[in-house]
Amino acid sequence: MGIRQWMILLTMCTVACNSQEKKIQVLSHAAQDASCPYLTTTADGKTVISWVEASAGADTGTLYYAVSDDKGKTFSTPQQVPTANGILPHAENMPKMVFKPDGEIIAIYGVEQNDPRNKYAGRVFYTRSLNGGKNWLPAQALVTDTGSYDQRYFDIALLPDGEAAAIWLDNRKDVDAEGSSLYFAVTAGHDGFKQEKSLAETVCQCCRTDLYTDGDGGIHIAFRDIINDSIRDMVHMVSTDRGASFSTMNRISADNWVVRGCPHTGPAMVKNKDGMHFTWFTMGGGEGVYYCQSADNGQTYTHKQKVSSVPLAKHPQITALADNKIMLVWDEPVKVKNAFNSRVGFQLRDGAGKVLDTGLLTPDSVYASYPVIKGLDGNTVLVAYTQREGELQRVCCMRMSE
């Protein structure tokens, strides 16, 4: 059944006043600038959406989150994470949360570094709650080595044993070449992240990384690598021993995109019964959002397939549903009169990757960007994104079910 036949339920969104406004639940505060939505779940399976709120005109903001115990139909009153502030909003470097089975919550976020060695440098901090969000410990730096002055584009995931893993891009490297190093660390009980180690060097320094744990305990990492000094293609590596070792990185697609710049659009991946599924943006061998899969855990990959017909479609995300289908979302520009808006597109595929439906989730009349997606059950997904209204932005969330 195609998504066009699904019932779309707007559980929270901000749009211009219209006859449907009474059906809209707004989670962010009306006078605040909200962005960077992220979707996750609590240890007992409740749906969580987090985002950043900043005062109008402010450069930095604070983390908020809300919880749904009815699969995204309604959400709790937004809760502030008081120790996660000074956040520099960046949708490719969005704050993220993880809920450990032992009751600990970790919120991780980026701030500006203001370092003369790199005007774009940032730092990553995290804060923890040991009692379900009632109280939060002081924020602490993810990296304490003074040789590290730039950490960005992090991700976090829960491991099968209940600990959390994190990856991030770091300036520390042993080679004199462009790019960052990819670092990895794991929590140790309630003592925070420990035993960091470098996994790769000459990684594209400005694209989102993706950390994913599959149902078999495998830890997957995808990122944009710098190959032969100028090619910026997506690579994948996997660990089957809780991160003690990782496979050699493999390109998911030999796009051979030669670019000496920062694409600012990272990869996404998910696993179902048929294998791993990937989506990414490239301008090598074609321009736009692409998809491929791997049935052998990253040893080989299928030839890439174009997802959106719009060349400048970017920022893809992907999820798996309990019925083995997968769904992708992305944003793409659309010309409206003499200006450009941005809209969110979708694609539904069956478990083996065959396209079932492709379409749009937002109208051309609004500016919607940076979608994130999470499967809730066999026939329900939740899509969150940022929507611009005048000088401010709002976080929107769309629940779709059969």
- d(C-alpha 245, C-alpha 241), whole Å: 7
Q: In the chain, where are the structural domains located?
A: 35-364
Return the CATH number of the domain spanning residue range 35-364.
2.120.10.10
Task: Note the pLDDT of residue 271.
Answer: 98
Task: Note the pLDDT of residue 153.
Answer: 98
* CA-wise closest residue to 27 among 72, 58, 59, 57: 72
Strands, E assignment, 283-379: 288-294, 305-306, 314-320, 326-336, 339-349, 355-360, 367-377
Pairing of strands 7-12, 105-112: unpaired
Task: Note the pLDDT of residue 151.
Answer: 97
Q: What is the pLDDT of residues 71-109, one digit of tens each?
A: 888 999 999 999 999 999 999 999 999 999 999 999 999
Q: What is the pLDDT of residues 140-149, one digit of tens each?
A: 999 999 999 9
Strands, E assignment, 56-142: 61-68, 79-87, 96-99, 105-112, 122-129, 140-141
DSSP state of 25: P
Report the C-alpha dihedral over residues 339, 344, 348, 349, rounded to 10 degrees.
Answer: 70
Exposed (0-12), middle (13-18) or buried (19+): which is 54, by Cβ within 10 Å? Answer: buried
Q: What is the pLDDT of residues 260-285, one digit of tens each?
A: 888 999 999 999 999 999 999 999 99
Q: What is the pLDDT of residues 208-220, one digit of tens each?
A: 999 999 999 999 9
Task: Note the pLDDT of residue 383.
Answer: 94
- d(C-alpha 90, C-alpha 354), whole Å: 33
Task: Note the pLDDT of residue 11.
Answer: 46
Starting at the edge strand found earlier in the chain, the sheet holding 339-349 runs 314-320, 326-336, 339-349, 355-360
Task: Note the pLDDT of residue 58.
Answer: 95
Q: Which residues of the chain have pLDDT under 70?
A: 1-26, 402
Q: Which helix (H) or strand (E) holds 389?
A: strand 380-389
Q: What is the pLDDT of residues 31-59, one digit of tens each?
A: 899 999 999 999 999 999 999 999 999 99
Task: Note the pLDDT of residue 25.
Answer: 57
Task: Note the pLDDT of residue 26.
Answer: 67
Please say whether the dihedral angle defined by the alpha carbons of residues 151, 157, 158 and 160, taken in this order, is positive or negative: negative
Task: Note the pLDDT of residue 30.
Answer: 82
* Identity of residue 152: R
